[in-house]
Structure 1
Amino acid sequence: MVGTSRGGAVRVAAVVLAGAGLAAGVVPAANAQDTGAATAVSAVADQARRVDRAALDAGLRAVVASGGATAALGRVREDGRTLWKGAAGTADLTTGAPAAARDRFRIGSATKTFVATVVLQLVAEHRIGLDDPVETHLPGVVRGGAGISVRQLLNHTSGLYNYTSDPAFAYADDASFQTWLSTDRWKSRTLAELVAVAEGHPVYFPPGQDWHYSNTDYILLGMLIGKTTGRSWQQEVERRIIRPLGLSETTMPENDPTVPGDHTRAYVSLPSGPVDITLFNPTIAGPAGAGISTTADLAAFMSALLGGRLLGPAELAEMKRTTGLGRGADYGLGLERTPTPCGDFWGHRGDSLGYSSIMLGDDTGRRQVVLSRNPYDPAGLPAAEAAFTSLVTAAACAGRTA
């Protein structure tokens, strides 16, 4: 969504890396036999004993040690049980309150996986076709829509310009940054307005010919959900995913600039000291990155998704069908493959203004890893990123044989 850096001037760039019943889209999980359940519980308990929690805690501390992050959170979950959870750093620099594993944070582009799941549920209900032209469902909304498929929006092969790359979303000097702080951060934007920004630029390539991450794709998918269901994308994520799974700490805000409940706060480092940038109008991101959640809720979501409780086998297979194109070779339909020494994991990174996170689940749907950090001092960012990357692997493989 929006990132910050410090040099001769302040720069803030928007990069939002960045009719059915309530549970209609949920595929019931098979009931395990009592003996099988007991065996699974025993196996997880054994795995938990093998997890080096001290090493994972140290990994979180390494993320914040350089000053490149003010806080870091983490969780490893397997077969419905938490093997490890932790927190490091400070949630609020003003009060000095320490970060806690339960804290909420902005999830940025991890929102896209929720949106993609709703779209694939609509595909399963035969209300949308993956290879339908966008023009069929959103006539006249986007230039060239007759040649762009729903699938190409989901996997970023549409070629559409990424609206957050527009100069209107970049604040390249101190004066414009102050304008963002006092005015622009509170602006409300419609989905149509964000698409119009993208329409002011040429496409990157003809649809399907290459891969380019574009938040515009998911703005259109949010519009598609609204047109198909008669409800907003937020309402559909709520009724199809959040409520059925009991994700009580996950929200998909419309205009509310706050992060509810206990949460880590976001800051930008200036010569004069930290400036709190936690609050802003989330319509800048919408279905491309407006979500808020916790490590526990994201782990539960990934478990349900990859475990087959939200999508049928055919739709889940489509979600994992990667493009094989360029930098998006491992990108599927709102889901990205992440190879680790312990096998492939699937999930999504999420970057928002002052937040960076990743949610992952293994191919079996048994293990989930969720990590979050609050980037801060640019001088320490490389070290924080390296520590965060190392922690992803350590958490994925914790208690397992690589």
Structure 2
Amino acid sequence: MLSFFSFVSSVFPQDSINETPKEVKKAERIINRLLRKKRIPGIAVTVTRDQQTIWQKGYGYADLEKEIPIDPQQTIFRIASVSKPLSATALAKAVEEKKIDLDSSIYDYVPYFPRKKYDITLRQLGGHLAGIRTYKGREFFNKKELSIREGVALFEEDPLLFEPGTDYAYNSYDWVLISLAIQEATGVPYANFVNEKVLLPLEMTHTFPDENNDSIPFKTTYYSKRGKRRFRRAAKVNNYFKLAGGGFLSTSEDVARLGNAYLKGEFLPVEIASQFTTAQMVNNNSTYYGLGWEVSFDQKNRPYYGHTGNGIGGYAVFRVYPDQNMVFSLLTNVTNPGIEKEIDKIIDAVLDKISPSEKLAP
């Protein structure tokens, strides 16, 4: 693993390796401004290049009252919809093992799902092309202990928004239904399947289902904003029912491990992985979404795949830049902080100095 100053000297040439380069100082100034203005309680940053960690640091606090610092290797955050790429990887494993066919009907795996006017495939569900609705009422703030099957029951009787394949509607319930299909197809509880097929092989040892489980160490305190410059503890919610779409906990280091598994290209066959990280088309227009992965371009027109997550007590940004062979994983412990522009600037501070063909010095 490269040290922080090895990263500095190899990526940002300078006269003295003991001096933090201006590009990283700029990124840290943005983070410190967010902390000083109390827009976030804390943030964990992990950046890798060529499967090596080149910048990893925690800023602010995991618990403000106790002044517990953030450790990007250990502090556990709610990653919200960054759960979808993790679930997509589990689905890809089920495809690789021929337990699931992406173009098969959902009724092949969940025959008791109420019949709709149109058939629905797993591929359509994975790309948000199935016409399933998003949250309504207080579902996003659910406090009940619901199983995945009970989560599907929340929306299963509702009509489709459109004929599958004809439009795009982002939601987490698509992935709740996929996780139920994986359970039925494999005969293994969904959380166990993810653990066996993804978390253990990738050594993501600090990634867990978001349950009311106080035995998980190093969990951050979850916050919401109270006014412009104050935080309060976030409302209690139970996210297990939507585990696949927004219910995992993780560290910034573990999330980066997932991105590097795709860059390395050995964890999944290329012909399967590429289906997940290629944007789907509707009426000859890109949805900028693959299967469980956002597939888009940043403000400098650099291609990436990844995901953004926004949940109660957590906000996460995960990007994989294949041209630069880099992964960015940034996790915060507050609901909807509204820091999208600042995150772009933090990422730009590093990427603006790197060309796609440039390699780290040995």
For 1:131 and 1:204, locate their aligned partners in 2 and report how far apart those are by CA, in whole Å. 20
Moved over 6 A (4+): 42-45
Change in Cα spacing, 1:310 to 1:144, as seen in structure 2 (3 Å) is: farther
Q: Which of the residues 83, 94, 99 maps onto 1:127?
A: 99
Higher relative CO (Cα under 8 Å, sequence separation at least 6) belongs to 1
* 2:201 alignment partner, SS class: helix
Q: Which of the residues 157, 161, 165 maps onto 2:133?
A: 161
Q: Which of the residues 68, 77, 82 maps onto 1:97?
A: 68
Matched with 2:295 is 337
Q: Any residues of structure 2 matched to 1:1-400 within 5 Å, and which?
A: 46-47=10-11, 52-102=23-73, 103-144=75-116, 147-162=119-134, 165-169=135-139, 185=143, 187-253=144-210, 255-258=211-214, 260-270=216-226, 274-277=231-234, 280-325=237-282, 329-340=287-298, 341=300, 343-363=302-322, 366-375=325-334, 381-382=337-338, 384-395=339-350, 397=351, 399-400=353-354
Q: In the TM superposition, what whole-angstrom CA distance separates every residue of 1:196-228 from its partner, at most 9, and x where no partner exists?
A: 221343322111110001211101111111111
For 2:57 and 2:252, locate their aligned partners in 1 and report how far apart those are by CA, in whole Å. 10
Q: What residue ranges of structure 1 are gaps of 5+ in the alignment? A: 1-41, 172-183
For 1:389 and 1:63, locate their aligned partners in 2 and report how far apart those are by CA, in whole Å. 13
Shift of 1:328: 6.7
For 2:110 and 2:206, locate their aligned partners in 1 and report how far apart those are by CA, in whole Å. 32
Shift of 1:275: 3.3
Shift of 1:123: 1.6
Change in Cα spacing, 1:385 to 1:279, as seen in structure 2 (3 Å) is: same
For 1:290 and 1:352, locate their aligned partners in 2 and report how far apart those are by CA, in whole Å. 9
Asked if structure 2 preserves the Cα contact closer than 8 Å seen for 1:282 and 1:290, the reply is yes
For 2:38 and 2:328, locate their aligned partners in 1 and report how far apart those are by CA, in whole Å. 24
One-letter amino acid of the counterpart of residue 139, structure 1: P
Asked if structure 2 preserves the Cα contact closer than 8 Å seen for 1:305 and 1:365, the reply is no
Matched with 1:12 is none
Question: As a proportion of its length, which structure holds more helix?
Answer: 1
Asked if structure 2 preserves the Cα contact closer than 8 Å seen for 1:298 and 1:359, the reply is yes
For 2:286 and 2:150, locate their aligned partners in 1 and report how far apart those are by CA, in whole Å. 27
For 1:58 and 1:393, locate their aligned partners in 2 and report how far apart those are by CA, in whole Å. 13
Q: What residue ranges of structure 2 are gaps of 5+ in the alignment? A: 1-5, 15-20, 357-362
One-letter amino acid of the counterpart of residue 108, structure 1: A
* 1:244 alignment partner, SS class: coil
* 1:361 alignment partner, SS class: strand
Aligned residues: 340
* 1:331 alignment partner, SS class: coil
For 2:191 and 2:340, locate their aligned partners in 1 and report how far apart those are by CA, in whole Å. 31
Structure 1 range deviating more: 57-66 or 300-309: 57-66
One-letter amino acid of the counterpart of residue 315, structure 2: S
Shift of 1:242: 1.0
For 2:157 and 2:240, locate their aligned partners in 1 and report how far apart those are by CA, in whole Å. 19
Q: In the TM superposition, what whole-angstrom CA distance separates every residue of 1:1-41 from its partner, at most 9, and x where no partner exists?
A: xxxxxxxxxxxxxxxxxxxxxxxxxxxxxxxxxxxxxxxxx
Asked if structure 1 preserves the Cα contact closer than 8 Å seen for 2:324 and 2:354, the reply is no
Shift of 1:170: 6.2
Alignment RMSD, CA only?
2.9
Asked if structure 2 preserves the Cα contact closer than 8 Å seen for 1:107 and 1:290, the reply is yes
For 1:388 and 1:351, locate their aligned partners in 2 and report how far apart those are by CA, in whole Å. 14
Using the size of structure 1 for normalisation, the TM-score is 0.76
For 1:77 and 1:45, locate their aligned partners in 2 and report how far apart those are by CA, in whole Å. 15
For 2:51 and 2:187, locate their aligned partners in 1 and report how far apart those are by CA, in whole Å. 34
One-letter amino acid of the counterpart of residue 367, structure 1: M
Change in Cα spacing, 1:258 to 1:348, as seen in structure 2 (3 Å) is: farther
Change in Cα spacing, 1:398 to 1:247, as seen in structure 2 (3 Å) is: farther
Shift of 1:262: 2.3
